[in-house]
Structure 1
Amino acid sequence: MSTITLIQINPQGRPLSEVGKLDDIARQVCAATTLLYAGAGFVPPWIGYLAQHEGKVVGACAFKTPPVDGKVEIGYFTFPDWEEQGIGTSMVRALLEIVQAEQTSLTVVAQTANEENASNAILRKFGFALAHVVEDTEDGEMWEWHWNKDKQVTEQKGV
């Protein structure tokens, strides 16, 4: 299991802690996060984060908007050089911990490609269930997952 630290991305698209020189992917994520804030607002802790592991930026995760109608949507992305090392799992765990600390009654939503992949395997570890298929204007058909708030934030064993 990888240990990560979440570094907040501010409204100007800059990390709020020292992370060293950002590579191209991390800079693109920070720029995209400012666009996310332009539409959804900057409402900590419901914001974007860089994931840091052993002093390196290894991924990014976010709440796509502050909670609306009892739901909050998450997104996460492990940078290519760090895939298959538990980073995605650690990011989802960290986001769920924020939800548990802030508003335990929220339903957490995540969307993935409509195929079996690493992302939906991560969601299943935490007790997310496939809720339905949605049509995304940019990505086409997507699977929408909902987190059963009655399950614990810890990984589900044997799933």
Structure 2
Amino acid sequence: MTLHASRDGGRLVLTQGRLTLREQLPEDALQLAEGKPAALVWIDGVPGDGTVGAATMTVATSRAGIYRPGWGLFAIVRSEDGTAVGGAGFHGPPDRGSVEIGYDLSESARGAGWATEAARALCQWALAQPDVLTVLATTEPGNHASQAVLERVGFVRVADRGELWAYELTSIPV
């Protein structure tokens, strides 16, 4: 499925099938970090805890002066009605050819393929950028749902990072 990248008011917007990923700029991330909806309609009323945590990372990179547009948090939005079902994004800009992703879904959106589609779209976009050779992801050993998402996208498990299982991806399987 074709990934379409566009800009809307300075935001990167990635669209693929039923999914739209809307970049959350630092000012949006600040609202999300406070548990506020940031001008989005959330399936469960507010962003999930993982999305709030990711927003905090985007705010921190902005305050540290290392934020780069396109390399932070995205709202996972249903294209059909504009409802936000979770968050996905990067833990920061690329570093030595690698970038790390994460994702979180609202309770009501789990089990419908949104995390897999969001991770696939993020990886497809990232690996098309000249400064990215590898996409990384980590999970807790007991997080079987997240591990299944990574495996469906094509990630391969590599050496653990401390207590976390680590995965990497260098290309999107066809």
Asked if TM exceeds 0.5, the reply is yes
Deviations 1:12-33 (A, max 9, x none): 1259x96346822259835751
Question: Does the 8 Å CA contact 2:71/2:90 hold for their aligned counterparts?
Answer: yes
- Within 5 A, what are the aligned runs for 1:88-127? 88-103=115-130, 105-115=132-142, 117-127=144-154
Distance 2:20 2:104 in 1: 15
Question: Does the 8 Å CA contact 1:7/1:51 hold for their aligned counterparts?
Answer: yes
Counterpart of 1:157 in structure 2 is none
Counterpart of 1:50 in structure 2 is 75
The alignment's TM-score, normalised by the length of structure 2, stands at 0.71
**Percent identity among equivalent residues?**
28
From 157, 168, 174, give the equivalent of 1:146.
168
Deviations 1:96-123 (A, max 9, x none): 1211332375210000111361111111
Unaligned runs of 5+ in 2: 1-15, 33-37
Distance 1:30 1:9 in 2: 12
Distance 2:49 2:161 in 1: 29
Distance 2:50 2:102 in 1: 15
Question: Does the 8 Å CA contact 1:2/1:90 hold for their aligned counterparts?
Answer: no
Q: Secondary structure at the match of 2:25?
A: coil
Distance 1:61 1:132 in 2: 23
**Cα drift, residue 36 of structure 1:** 3.1
Counterpart of 1:19 in structure 2 is 40
The alignment's TM-score, normalised by the length of structure 1, stands at 0.77
Matched residue type, 1:129:
V
Deviations 1:73-93 (A, max 9, x none): 000011110101010011101
Distance 1:36 1:105 in 2: 19
Unaligned runs of 5+ in 1: 136-140, 155-159
Matched residue type, 1:4:
L
Runs of 4+ off more than 6 Å = none
Distance 1:59 1:100 in 2: 22
The CA RMSD measured in Å over matched residues stands at: 2.8
Counterpart of 2:25 in structure 1 is 10
